Structure 1
Amino acid sequence: MGEDGGRRGCGPPRELQKLKQQALEYYRENDVPRRLEELLNATFYLQPADVYGHLANYFSKLAKPPTICKVVGKKVLDGLGLPALQVEIFCTIQNFSKNICSVVMATHFEVHDNTVPELAEAEEAERADAVRTAVQWVNETITQELRGLVPSSQAEVDQVLRTFFENKVQEDKERKELEKSLEDSTVPTLPSLIVPPPPPTPPPSKKKGQKLGMKRSLTEKPIAAPEPVEPVLCGSMAMGAVSLAVAKTSAVLSSNPLYVKIASLKHPQEQPAKLTIPLLMVSLVSCGKSSPGKLNLMKELICIPHPGLSAKQGVEMLMEIQKQINKTIEMPPPPKAEAKKGHNGGKRGQQLITGKMSHLGCLTITYDTIEQPLLLIQGICANLGLELGTNLHLAINCAAHELMDYSKGKYEVVMGTYKNAAEMVDLYVDLINKFPAIIALIDPFRKEDSEQWDSLYNALGSRCYTIAGSASKSISRLLQEGNISTPKSSGLVIKHTNQTTMCDLVEITNLIDSKRRVAVFGSTEGESSDDSLVDLAVGLGVRFIKFGGLSRGERVTKYNRVFTVEEELVQSGTLGLNEELTFSNLNEEDEAAAALAGELPEPPEPIFPTEVVEASA
């Protein structure tokens, strides 16, 4: 054994020690800060590789923070094989360009199963143009505008994106005005070419036996004309995608999950000690207008597990229910029995035919009455030892805007059965009375039927949420007007689409919270496999999340992300418990008084028992 053989393996050779000693003397002579001396002393007995790593980590803290050097946009495919936008963020880190992260954002377009070929082709072209324009914006102007910015400065990034978008809106407006002026200038104005107005319509002839002044006994109030569709600027999805990508980049660089980053944006003064997993709204069956049956009203029948269950327990319970639905569909139909009249003139004895997988990730089933799908779930729960109203509750996405027959001025709730807006209020009240486990109605009316929204809210607001999804305005319009009370509802479905930035999402959820309403964070109909929406929902602290059914990869990946986030919060001890479901039927005076007082009114009794109910019998 050599002179220092006893130390071999636990210390550096003599030559390395000598070099370090010389380095110490050099730095002392050149007035190096004491912290660096301590650092060198601390590494005196480390192996060479460890020394270099230790020094690299130390000096990296003194280096310039990472800055955005490039933003890349690409056209990819969503879960339905339709065009979507991918955004990648590159940052300069210690003078090297590095790809930090990417996100995928689907378009805002609804998915129509039964569309006229001409309309389908037009929408397909519009969708492709939206993605193509967004890619161009990202790769040209946006990457230049964001170059050199620090990813953690989300407000600054979003302001740059907002300014860019406003300029594009102005350019689009000027282009349309120019096109209109050119069209007007080419219209012939010679008197000889002016078409004379048509002759006035003669008054209706008096029918035999009709008395003067006699009116129809049944006069219905004409329906409000549909509001013009809010314009969506082609390419606007670039703003939302880039904003999300920058937020995710900041989270990656700080070694934090995205939901922590979003929570810090939501609560800039003090990070919340607890984060909760929003309650799941899981679509189990679809039997709306796109289904082969006569029933139109129920686009999605949704289940909401008990708040006391974990997300994983709730999904496991619903998976078992879904298995039973599949078995029921596969069963051969029983012999025809004597038909019994059901709600809206339907037949209770009619057997459902078959089911196919919807783009929403749930089964599309043929039904002819409103009660049939509800009775199906009720019967399956009874067989599994589950109780509707205790273990789980129901919600219905009515999608009323798809049901209106404008030629008749009525909603076609069942094929051949039409109801006006006032009759729809009675239908919903009767349905909730028969099935009190229904605690939410999404889009029960068109947005134009404000009077019926008021009536339904006044009738059911104390025991059922009335939620505006498609009936609500876009997030940008809501923020511009500062009003979420039209139509009058218990809450809103919010989506991360188009030009909606992270700051916009924070602002709209703050507005919803201030009005004592509930926020439902939903996905678009043509979804991608990006699971960032889960982090957004958790960080924003919304009440519900709605990602569709438990099938299709783009849906399932989000539920898997929910499980992961839940496990991380449990391990870190920061998982908050979900509050019991309660309903607050507030009028405008109550809202104003609560806002002035800075406090909430006393909440009503929860509709769930306070103890946690097990998921299975």
Structure 2
Amino acid sequence: MDCIGSIRAMEILDSRGNPTVRVSVVLDSGARGTSSVPAGASIGVNEAAELRDGDMFRYRGRGVRKAVGNVNDVLAPALMGMDVTRQVEIDDAMREIDGTANLERMGANAVLAVSQACAVAAAASNGVPLYTYLGGKDAVRLPMPMINVINGGKHADSSLDMQEFMIVPIGAPSFSEALRYGVEIFHALARILGTRGYTSAVGDEGGFAPLLTSNEEAFDLIMEAIVAAGYRPGVDICLALDAAAASFFRDGNYWLSRTGYRSKTSVQLIELYQQWVHKYPIVSIEDGIAESDPAGLRELMTALGHQIQIMGDDLVVTNPEFIARAIEQGSCNAALIKLNQIGTVSAAIAAVELCCRAHWHYAVAHRSGETEDTFIADFAVAMNASHIKTGSVCRGERTAKYNRLLEIEGELGARALFGHDARSR
């Protein structure tokens, strides 16, 4: 048993220049763990609640001094002396202190930072990597990266309605090769954008944010880049889409105003997706229909669920209760796992376990406002995740996760396994 000796939080900056929470835990043995939490831009209505200060004279209300204070003055004294390996007990104690369903009193940003830092400290105390501590000796599978190459929606000041256009290196034999495929395509795309007179500036998650004429043009440019880099679309590289449909859903219709589609019903939007899946090697669509449109969710699954991965994010928000409901209702066939949506490590693990029982694929994911923290890289391996979403292959807060996965692959050596093919659904 190694007990918690001290917990200390501080305010740091995320990749968008907004404050977030970092927590350091020191154990009686001297082992320590530090972890930082991200923040999203496209936020599901049922996510655990961040706590922000609301002081418009400081960081325009985005400060997190209240959350930091809750860690230092409330959570730390309550957790002092607890066995750090008792992750569920630690997380349950913080939830009990908070007393709300969505952690709004303490703040999910405060609670998750403590939860993650405790797990990191426990791994250090046990002298094993975090992925081994959380996943055991059988945690040897590297996830398939879903690499963001073009940003739109709320993640970029671009002309695209859809939020993320991604490449999935399904033909790669290893994680390191998958990453190389992605980097080479990313740079090929940069050259193509330059020759067409488009900007190669990037959005929040590192994907390019050009002013294109249509969502189809984004797909066409990516397809061209795949070929230019020497790869075969649909064989070496497939595509994935995060529509973030809730961001353009209002009054019962989907308003794709950025690219001139005007409004579409859910049936019309699904027909558009079907056209894209027929034309391009798309293997996954995330949040293709808003979570508040249950009829549309069922229609999307009927239309494409037998053919590709229909990923729920805003629909399930890493919440075991919502995942169980989505499984029962058949609203999607895969889930995104974001720790800050649910607020504790143990609850995220419970969400993964539900996905496993349903034989769902699941992708461990970052947020658009990230830090250099690499917790999710280890977590993806620990949870045997089919995929990881951690942005593009530029910007340090994104490449930090990829680089950690390269380290893990090296540590595992010949034991390392690689990914799942999303087409195997």
Same structural fold, with TM-score higher than 0.5 when normalized by the shorter chain = yes
The one-letter amino acid paired with 2:2 is P
Q: 1:291 deviation in Å? A: 5.5
Distance 1:363 1:122, change over 3 A: farther
2:36 to 104, 117, 127: 104
Calculate the aligned-residue CA RMSD, in Å.
2.7
CA distance in 1, matches of 2:32, 2:158: 49
Q: CA contact under 8 A between 2:183 and 2:393: conserved in structure 1?
A: yes
Distance 1:430 1:231, change over 3 A: farther
Q: Which has the larger radius of gyration?
A: 1
Q: Deviations over 1:412-463 (max 9, x none)?
A: 262352211111111111111111x100111111112211221221221222
Tell me if 1:464 matches 2:308: yes
Q: Deviations over 1:71-117 (max 9, x none)?
A: 11111111222111111112223xxxx36121111234549xxxxxx
Query: Which residue number in structure 2 is paired with residue 434 of structure 1?
Result: 279
Distance 1:410 1:374, change over 3 A: closer
Query: Which residue number in structure 2 is paired with residue 528 of structure 1?
Result: 371
Query: Which residue number in structure 2 is paired with residue 280 of structure 1?
Result: 145
TM-score for the superposition, normalised by structure 2: 0.89
Q: 1:539 deviation in Å? A: 0.3
CA distance in 2, matches of 1:431, 1:455: 16
CA distance in 1, matches of 2:231, 2:370: 31
Q: 1:165 deviation in Å? A: 2.2
Tell me if 1:127 matches 2:62: yes
Distance 1:429 1:359, change over 3 A: same
Q: 1:293 deviation in Å? A: 5.7
Structure 2 stretches lacking a partner, 5+ long: 44-53
The one-letter amino acid paired with 1:246 is C
* Number of residue equivalences: 413
2:17 to 81, 84, 87: 81
CA distance in 2, matches of 1:109, 1:463: 30
Tell me if 1:370 matches 2:303: no
Q: Deviations over 1:348-403 (max 9, x none)?
A: xxxxx323211111110111123212111222222333111110110011111122
Q: 1:231 deviation in Å? A: 8.5
1:328 to 188, 192, 213: 192
Q: How does 1:233-272 map to 2 (within 5 A)?
A: 233=105, 235-264=107-136, 271-272=137-138
Q: How does 1:346-365 map to 2 (within 5 A)?
A: 353-365=198-210
Tell me if 1:164 matches 2:97: yes
Q: CA contact under 8 A between 1:83 and 1:106: conserved in structure 2?
A: no
Query: Which residue number in structure 2 is paired with residue 547 of structure 1?
Result: 390
CA distance in 2, matches of 1:323, 1:562: 21
Q: Deviations over 1:252-274 (max 9, x none)?
A: 0111000011104xxxxxx52x5
The one-letter amino acid paired with 1:380 is A
Q: Percent identity?
A: 21
Query: Which residue number in structure 1 is paired with residue 6 of structure 2?
Result: 70
Secondary structure of the equivalent of 1:355?
Answer: coil
Q: CA contact under 8 A between 2:255 and 2:261: conserved in structure 1?
A: no
CA distance in 1, matches of 2:60, 2:293: 32
CA distance in 2, matches of 1:495, 1:440: 17
Query: Which residue number in structure 2 is paired with residue 177 of structure 1?
Result: none
The one-letter amino acid paired with 2:306 is S
Tell me if 1:154 matches 2:87: yes
Distance 1:121 1:323, change over 3 A: farther
The one-letter amino acid paired with 1:163 is E
The one-letter amino acid paired with 2:164 is E
CA distance in 2, matches of 1:302, 1:438: 9
Query: Which residue number in structure 1 is paired with residue 235 of structure 2?
Result: 390
CA distance in 2, matches of 1:293, 1:149: 49
Distance 1:501 1:463, change over 3 A: same
Q: CA contact under 8 A between 2:5 and 2:28: conserved in structure 1?
A: yes
Secondary structure of the equivalent of 1:322?
Answer: helix
Q: 1:157 deviation in Å? A: 1.7
Q: 1:133 deviation in Å? A: 2.1
TM-score for the superposition, normalised by structure 1: 0.63
Distance 1:144 1:579, change over 3 A: same
Q: CA contact under 8 A between 2:323 and 2:351: conserved in structure 1?
A: no
The one-letter amino acid paired with 1:261 is Y
Query: Which residue number in structure 1 is paired with residue 49 of structure 2?
Result: none
Q: 1:240 deviation in Å? A: 1.2
Q: Deviations over 1:41-67 (max 9, x none)?
A: xxxxxxxxxxxxxxxxxxxxxxxx432
Q: Deviations over 1:127-150 (max 9, x none)?
A: 32xx22221121122222211122
Tell me if 1:495 matches 2:338: yes
CA distance in 1, matches of 2:369, 2:221: 28
CA distance in 2, matches of 1:137, 1:231: 12
1:512 to 339, 355, 371: 355
Q: 1:557 deviation in Å? A: 0.6
Tell me if 1:484 matches 2:305: no
Structure 1 stretches lacking a partner, 5+ long: 1-64, 112-118, 171-229, 265-270, 334-352, 585-617
CA distance in 2, matches of 1:415, 1:480: 34
Q: 1:121 deviation in Å? A: 6.0
Distance 1:421 1:384, change over 3 A: same
CA distance in 2, matches of 1:505, 1:71: 22
2:179 to 315, 335, 356: 315
Query: Which residue number in structure 2 is paired with residue 560 of structure 1?
Result: 403
Secondary structure of the equivalent of 2:205?
Answer: coil
Q: CA contact under 8 A between 1:450 and 1:487: conserved in structure 2?
A: no
Secondary structure of the equivalent of 2:276?
Answer: helix
Secondary structure of the equivalent of 2:415?
Answer: coil
Q: Deviations over 1:251-302 (max 9, x none)?
A: 10111000011104xxxxxx52x52001101101124466566542x22110
User: With CA pairs under 8 Å and 6+ residues apart, which has the higher RCO, 1 or 2?
Assistant: 2
The one-letter amino acid paired with 1:127 is R
CA distance in 2, matches of 1:122, 1:432: 48
